[in-house]
Chain A
Amino acid sequence: MVLKSLKYTLKTALTTTEVTRLYPEVMMELPANERGIHELDATTCIGCGSCARVCPNSCIELVPYRYGNPLKNRKMQFPQIDYGRCTFCGLCVDECPVSCLKMGKRTEIAGWDRKDIVYGPDRIAVKKFSDREVAELEAEAKRQAEEKKKAAAAAAKEKAAKAKGKENKAKAKPGEGGEA
């Protein structure tokens, strides 16, 4: 009986190829949809905060960050994730309306301090604009804002003019009536 058990032992020892992985040197191969550390595409994030709202542990907070797209993300607010609380459930990724938040294959988070595992947008962003692009975009945003302001001002003027015209008409009417 013991021999039979030993037969299985030997068989396993001789046939099974990989049992122990040389972990720090060789990382195991992770599948394509592994849920590891988040990857933020700062160029498309619109800063809506739906990831922060759906998080069951409220570990996502929106913080200001420079290298995003000011045209889409007006207030320049991007998610910051506290990995001390994150459970890697992936609800934030599902909820993102522009699919700018993904989860990647990076899984090592260790740090010396509790602050070290709070990852701001600069640490999770995989795609971001350079300084020059940001400056251009900002200028564009400014121009657009000004244009909008102008348009708004023009609209307001027009409105005011119309209102005035109406008022004049309204004023004129009782006058007419009075005359008649």
Chain B
Amino acid sequence: MSAIQSAFPGAVLESRVESDRRLWITVDPKRLVEITQFLRDKKDFDHYSGAAGIDRINENLFEVVEILTSHGAHQVVVLMKVKVPRDKPSVRSLTGLYWNANWYEREIWEMFGINFEGHPELYPLLLPDELVGYWPWRKDFKGYPDTTTGERAIEQVGPDGYTEFKIMPHPELIKAGVVPERPKYPTFREREEAEIKSDSEMIMHMGPQHAIVPGPFLLDLLIEGERVKKAFLDVGYIHKGIEKIMENRTYLQGIVYTDRMCYLASITNNEAYCGAVERLLGITPPERAQYIRVILAELSRIQSHLLGTGEFLTLLGAATYSPFQYMIIDREDIVYLMESITGARITHTFVRFGGVRNDLPDGFADKARPILKRMRERTEEYMDLLHSDPIYTRRMRGIGVLSPGDARRLGVSGPPLRASDTPYDMRREDPILVYPDLDFKVVTRKAGDAEARVEVRLEEILESIHIIEQCLDRIPDGPIQEKLPKKIKPEPGEAYYRVEDPRGEMGFYVVSDGSEKPYRVKVRGPVYAYMQALPPLLEGAYVADVVAIAGSMDACTSEVDR
């Protein structure tokens, strides 16, 4: 902090050191790029973790928060804030410094209308082209259909007798200026077709319904012969606006929505959200609750890795020994264990502010130990099986190689980053709950190819089993819920909390204004970063390998679209 202040006198307007891992600073918008460059080059902040926009309508300001961290050099998270006036918001783009700032800034631009000077492609990312009205996440956005009049769909009977319901405003409303019309941008299709340079090139569509990931997204490949020349990604097919919905729900009700972002990681999403609100409330959960949370987070990691790997192997045509079916059988045991604690199979809504919903059932440890033991044997079998399969190794080894430098530059996290020889794990970097007391190692691989990514996942299952067994041995008796105020109303402030998702770094940025509802919730998801890194990764690959590369990232579109 003092280093920044001495290097840039007068540029830091406000600063707050929350703990030895969080630094909040507000800087002069004009000097944002300089300061960021200083942080990146001199202070090892080489990981751009994300950005959030906040609409401070009462102060007539927009805030953009840039989250900068480091890949293992130190463990400080800098949350750098820039304030710009609301009538003409414009911030210098950081895309020149960090490659992966691209999508984060694009999203802020399309949701809030904050212009980013020097951004290479400010086009809508998540929103459809047909949306009516400007900047939906501003606080003064009325929305359409109009919720005040209750006017919703317009019924139209076509000439062929079919009835259609359209949610479009009357042309008169647009003419009168009640519903503003959005400016026209080149659509996704027009943009990708502009890249076709010669007759030998063509565009191949994969998606929106394609099996490489469970969820709709469009991957268009510009191919020349057998090789991919360029890849284009279109996401936002299932954009749910969860961040905006959570602004209209109380803090407690928000937990339910975090489940639905990605059902394979619902416990870790709960954990990240509740952790952020706990920071705001200034409470820590009792020790038993912390152990229960760790057990569940690791169980959820095991089942997510099993399903992700199994599903991916079916895509590769590994049908002779049907690992998918094996993994589903094993996953069933794990899901049953989780169900016996939480009462639900995938959407748990289990973590509470300062505790958990209910205690472990009687005899849980006795039930869990044999299952974990069996799970360990099975995972070792899978590793042996995959390792000795020549077809599998041929399809995976040396495919989609991410060098350590590239992996850091593209901003991926989780297993793909660890497969590229970077031991970056939130459980180590930003230790939460009882993780500092537990013994586990961060799994890494040197190769950085598709095979390494799958190996990292399988070995992480073993590590998770090891963690759960330690927890079962050590778990103390005691309360599972900290005393809470009757109405959850945190003091005005903001908190950032991140956990290690099965897929990588999951962060929740929650802003409170002192009322019962959060003022703004920003989700920094791991899959968003993978998806962004997919086009450069696919460049130069063979069409046949696209599935192997994209599938080995284990993406979940639902979380990208939130």
Contact = CB atoms under 8 A, between A and B. Distances in A.
B321 A103 contact: no
Contacts of A35: 342-344
A1 B388 contact: yes
A16 B347 CA distance: 28
Interface residues of B, number: 31
Interface in B218-276: 249-250, 252-253, 255-257, 259
Contact of A90 (B341, B349, B361): B349
Contact of A2 (B320, B326, B329, B341): B320
B13 to A, nearest CB: 38
Given A1-B388, A5-B385, A33-B343, A87 B321 contact: no
Interface in B323-358: 326, 329, 336, 339-344, 347, 349, 352, 357-358
B485 to A, nearest CB: 15
A78 B139 CA distance: 37
Given A9-B322, A56-B253, A103-B343, A31 B390 contact: no
Interface in B352-373: 352, 357-358, 361
Contacts of A30: 339
A94 interface: yes
Contacts of A91: 252-253, 255-256, 349
A68 B389 CA distance: 66
B343 A54 contact: no
B339 A5 contact: no
A105 to B, nearest CB: 10
B381 interface: yes
Contact of A5 (B250, B320, B361): B320
Contacts of B352: 94
B322 to A, nearest CB: 7
B260 to A, nearest CB: 8
Contacts, number: 69
Contacts of B361: 31-33
B329 A19 contact: yes
A56 B320 contact: no
Contact of A94 (B329, B357, B388): B357
B284 to A, nearest CB: 20
Interface residues of A, number: 25
Interface string A76-91: 0000000000011111
A8 interface: yes
B322 A56 contact: no
Contacts of B389: 1, 5
A180 interface: no
A26 interface: no
Interface in A23-48: 30-35
B385 A8 contact: yes
Question: Which of A31, A54, A103 gathers the greatest number of chain B CB atoms within 10 Å?
Answer: A31
A171 B320 CA distance: 106
Contacts of A32: 340, 361
B320 A34 contact: no
A114 interface: no
A31 B340 contact: yes
A32 B381 CA distance: 33
A89 B256 contact: yes
B385 A33 contact: no
Nearest to B257: A56
Nearest to B330: A16
Nearest to A31: B340
B424 to A, nearest CB: 33
A12 interface: yes
Contacts of A94: 352, 357
A89 B390 contact: no
Contacts of A31: 336, 339-340, 343, 361
A110 interface: no
Contacts of A4: 385, 388
Nearest to B381: A8
A56 B358 contact: no
Question: Which of B249, B253, B361 gathers the greatest number of chain A CB atoms within 10 Å?
Answer: B253
Nearest to B326: A12
A6 interface: yes
A30 B344 CA distance: 10
A90 B388 contact: no
A87 B256 contact: yes
Nearest to A2: B320
Contact of B339 (A19, A34, A89): A34
Question: Which of A32, A35, A94, A103 gathers the greatest number of chain B CB atoms within 10 Å?
Answer: A35
A22 to B, nearest CB: 16
Contacts of B381: 8
A103 B342 CA distance: 12
Contacts of A19: 329
A6 B256 contact: no
A4 B133 CA distance: 61
Question: Which of B256, B329, B358, B385 gathers the greatest number of chain A CB atoms within 10 Å?
Answer: B256
B390 A1 contact: yes
A6 B388 CA distance: 13
Contacts of B250: 54
Contacts of B257: 56
Contacts of B343: 31, 33-35, 90, 103
Contacts of B320: 2, 5-6
11 contacts: A8-B385, A12-B326, A16-B329, A32-B361, A33-B343, A34-B343, A54-B253, A87-B347, A89-B347, A90-B357, A91-B252
4 closest A-B pairs by CB = A31-B340, A35-B343, A5-B321, A56-B253
Interface of B: 249-250, 252-253, 255-257, 259, 320-322, 326, 329, 336, 339-344, 347, 349, 352, 357-358, 361, 381, 385, 388-390
Given A6-B321, A56-B249, 13 more contacts: A2-B320, A6-B320, A8-B326, A8-B381, A9-B321, A16-B329, A31-B361, A89-B256, A89-B259, A89-B347, A89-B349, A90-B344, A94-B357
